[in-house]
Amino acid sequence: MTDGATGSTGSRSRRHGRAGRDMRAASLVGLGLGAIVLSTLFLFKPAFVGLVVIVMVVAVWELATALGARSVAVPVVPVVLGTVLMLVGAYLGGGSPLMVGLGLTVAAVSAWRLGDSRPGYLRDVSAGIFTSVYVPFLAGFAMLMVRHDDGAWWVFALLVVVVASDTGGLLAGVLAGRHPMAPSVSPKKSWEGFAGSVVLGVGVAVPVAVYAFDAPWWTGVVLGVTGVIGATLGDLGESLIKRDLGIKDMSQLLPGHGGLMDRLDSLLPTAPLVWFVLEYIVT
């Protein structure tokens, strides 16, 4: 029995490695998700918008469930309705509907909780507003990107820079990570990993800027560095949330990844930064 348990533990350890994940499962799931996202993005934009809406609704549910485990009751119904309103509005009408949708969602969250006599009104409304901003509002910037004529390439730039940042950080961190960046928040994130993120993020962003947008190479450097900073802060931010909640993953929905929010942590805060760089510098 001891040998069997040891063998099982050793097998899991080899499979997970220093990254702390089942990398085989994570890679397969990541490739599958990437294929779905890119196919809808480049073949039929409305399908991509629908996919984003579904993903963000699930992400809202994940975050609300995690907060609920700590007795924080997010008003899920108005947040979900606001998610659809913000994302579809941003795609169809641009930035103004996105902002109006956020305002209406905040008002709806505040009004919805008035009907509940339980204590903690300010806590729950604050959590609902935070969820509305953190998930659908930030995702709305991807909708602002995709509505452009070449919007598929805008979103592609966001995705590949964030993926490159995560991949470069993981590889450099596993191979050479020695100096923790924020040990109390995310012990495995190192400055060496951040350097790997910058190298690979910029290395991917430069050819995207040059060949997809016919822009000078240095705009790719700006795009890459900005994307890496956003992805890193997003990763640290979600790690801080999970530390406060006392959880490792937001859910177990995706094998090797945790929950959808565990995959969106880098993308969501990076979306408005990349949108700004593409809108005002690259294109």
Per-residue pLDDT of 54-68, as tens digits, reads 999 999 999 999 999
Query: Which residues pair with residue 208 across a beta bridge?
Result: none
pLDDT-derived band of residue 26, with 50, 70 and 90 as boundaries? low
Q: What is the pTM of this model?
A: 0.89
Predicted confidence at residue 14, as pLDDT, reads 45
Residue of 197, 158, 161 whose CA lies nearest to 181: 197
- The helix/strand/coil state of 234 is helix
Domains of the chain by residue range = 43-147, 150-282
Average confidence (pLDDT) over 205-234: 97
Per-residue pLDDT of 58-99, as tens digits, reads 999 999 999 998 999 999 999 999 999 999 999 999 999 999
What backbone torsions phi and psi does residue 180 show, to the nearest 5 degrees? -60, 140
CA–CA gap between residue 270 and residue 171 (Å, rounded): 21
Tokens of 264: 């969106």
Q: Is the pLDDT of residue 21 over 70?
A: no
CA–CA gap between residue 169 and residue 195 (Å, rounded): 7
